[in-house]
Structure 1
């Protein structure tokens, strides 16, 4: 009991611990690696063509529709309500999977899941509005580790229950319903942030940034530190009341828009940041498309109705291999400003080859290996990219950059879905789709190989000019991305 009180009294440990616990249970989705066999099999009895060309595209379109409004609402409502909504829709997602029959129910399922993925921005940005700046790196590492451990544990447990215990897919979904229900209950434990970055808590965020820039002993307003550290002080309560009173005023909205514009300009203030963000958006669009449809490729090669399914084991192993690849980034001594773009092009080429292998092989184990190699390359590169962007931006700008890059990636993914996947247009079969995804990643690799070669030749032949980007940054944060966010 004493340890719990001590944890709750900490200004960063308690929200970090609760959010990490939530992240574990929310991502421990035991049945997720077996979604396609469950929909195509006798439980839902939906054809592979309908799942590929009609059902899955609904998620992409809905996700795009929800992403930008959710991004603004996340900051406006101060994060916690959106996390609670995410957990609620996770629960309703598995209620539909377990108990709702028919294609129409699965359409609602895809829309519900779009809400879940769109609200992930609240999970990623909540902690930065709650804890002190000096704890960002440690908290981020804990949150990413919790998500990865939850996903790996869920996928591995699902495979054990299928292969050893002989459970069918319905019981996997029922167990997952219980797990995400625990996440829903945990979400209520999260403390409500005192302010937001752009809207109601804009003044609070500004004070926090000003207090970091003031030299100790030289400030004209010493009470600002007390306002940041003591949320119950009368000064802060008055400030929050003033903010609440004018939350919908034209001045408040204009100020929030002005701050968003300033953050946008900082986020894309140099070519270096623009190129890294471009790779992020291009590669994430292709990665998300492949992750979404890989189960259908596996089912095409080895139909689940007539063979053993190892989706959970493969996903669990891929996460661990990808985590090891991403973890190694923190120990690689490379001048990324010189060699980074060439690395993006080189590993993108390996990933493109892996996608071609996945799409062209008729051997399920070769398909598994290709997918593992592709996912490892992406996790390695997205970790490098994330750090290169975050190391040169303030956290407020990083959150905005994260949202914009994700929106661009999702827009590209929507275009690919609309042209190649949707039954109303080309409606290509799953093999042809993966060949196109391989060509797409090959083009990305060529683009960055050319750009990287030019950068290496230019910077090695001429002295590097002084960088005007912020210098005061921490060591790389071990960031693992397994979703569009």
Structure 2
């Protein structure tokens, strides 16, 4: 077996275990259930916003540290954060401890950038498309199996919602030694770059190499700053990149908010306020979302950007309508079906947008641009959380009213280009 394939399989094993968290579909039922003396309102108003703020505050720092320490330490940190998060969720009961758990959730989520960028620093460019497929397949497989396993265990009364968290803790514990045996990366994109910042030669920008023709790969703070600035300016002065990045950030903000609070809507609508089919729904949503992204990957969307902007915006307006329907529905199965349709359509249109952005970027700026786009999305999500969810600074809306707002957001914000 070739070296790059061994590394890819090892990293994908970590990614699969990282996402194999059967507790996720029922975490709201657990936190607002019989194991704690907390209401749903306390959980979504006093606990979940901490997760949003934690991811936002850590994303930029983690992105730069990831490049500085060359990926592997951040992957290990991700595993440790996941372990600590589930330990707190299982063995503590107060709101304060749940808020602390959300800090580790922020680390766990922000550190995902290391998983996706590790392979690009470790394998040759001709393998990028293959390893991208591997890493995303591992993530989706873990999510799908986690949801399916959770549904089987809950439906057969084999495990309760709290016991599912022990399974999630186990997968995080197993992922840690996998992360530890990942090979070190000798270079990174910025601080240990193989190329120096581009120089102007005969009107074109070219990377500077060492005198013997070999690419440089040593620590340089100055070169890192120059590369970061070059990638930033060259990317966002491109009107195509800027337009689609704005659309991508707006859409991602809405989607993250929808999936963050969807379990509260299910619990609100479900008979006896107990939603027991979340696992199967999450598994199906992951599967159809993967199919949507897979189909979008075959489209030559960059050559018909105006057409696909129209399609994406119409689809976003449709998603807004579906979310508004959910907010008024009194049938939990309707909200389940709408969520599955939402996932399938969203991952199709977001893949189209991501592909167009990627195809118009300068070489090696992919990670920076999508990191900045995600940062913008999280800033928007934070503003939305403060206004919609927080009772002290905003309106403190209940689940139904929240999804009325999210539906309106999708119809207005991401369909503005129609």
Gaps of 5+ in 1: 1-5, 229-238, 450-485
Pick aligned residue for 1:197 from 189, 196, 201: 189
Residue by residue, what CA displacement relative to the aligned partner does 1:297-327 show, whole Å, maximum 9, x if unpaired? 0001116x66451001000001111111111
After superposition, where does 1:264-283 map in structure 2 within 5 Å?
Answer: 264-283=232-251
Pick aligned residue for 1:21 from 9, 13, 17: 13
1:416 corresponds to 2:408: no
Equivalents in 1 of 2:165, 2:363: separation in Å? 37
Equivalents in 1 of 2:129, 2:190: separation in Å? 22
Name the residue aligned to 2:280: 313
Change (3 A) 1:221 1:283: same
Name the residue aligned to 2:416: 447
Tell me by how many angstroms 1:255 deviates: 2.4
1:356 corresponds to 2:324: yes
Name the residue aligned to 1:54: 46
Residue by residue, what CA displacement relative to the aligned partner does 1:88-125 show, whole Å, maximum 9, x if unpaired? 01011111111122222111111110111111111111
Name the residue aligned to 2:359: 391
Tell me by how many angstroms 1:165 deviates: 4.1
Pick aligned residue for 1:327 from 287, 294, 297: 294
After superposition, where does 1:40-439 map in structure 2 within 5 Å?
Answer: 40-199=32-191, 201-202=192-193, 204-206=194-196, 224=214, 243=218, 247=219, 252-302=220-270, 307=274, 309-332=276-299, 335-425=303-393, 426-439=395-408
**Native 8 Å contact 2:196 2:227 kept in 1:** no
Tell me by how many angstroms 1:221 deviates: 6.4
Change (3 A) 1:336 1:45: farther
Question: What is the RMSD computed on CA atoms of the aligned residues?
Answer: 2.2
Change (3 A) 1:403 1:413: same
Q: With structure 2 as the length reference, what TM-score do the two structures score?
A: 0.93
Name the residue aligned to 1:467: none
Tell me by how many angstroms 1:79 deviates: 0.7
Change (3 A) 1:333 1:392: closer
Equivalents in 2 of 1:333, 1:263: separation in Å? 24
Change (3 A) 1:447 1:207: closer
Tell me by how many angstroms 1:282 deviates: 0.4
Tell me by how many angstroms 1:25 deviates: 0.4
Gaps of 5+ in 2: 199-204
Equivalents in 2 of 1:21, 1:134: separation in Å? 22
Tell me by how many angstroms 1:205 deviates: 3.9
**Native 8 Å contact 2:197 2:226 kept in 1:** no
Change (3 A) 1:313 1:192: same
Tell me by how many angstroms 1:138 deviates: 0.4
Equivalents in 2 of 1:57, 1:128: separation in Å? 33
Change (3 A) 1:85 1:284: same
Equivalents in 2 of 1:284, 1:176: separation in Å? 26
Name the residue aligned to 2:201: none
| Number of equivalent positions | 409
**Native 8 Å contact 2:19 2:139 kept in 1:** yes
Equivalents in 2 of 1:261, 1:352: separation in Å? 37
Change (3 A) 1:41 1:399: same
Tell me by how many angstroms 1:287 deviates: 0.5
Name the residue aligned to 1:458: none
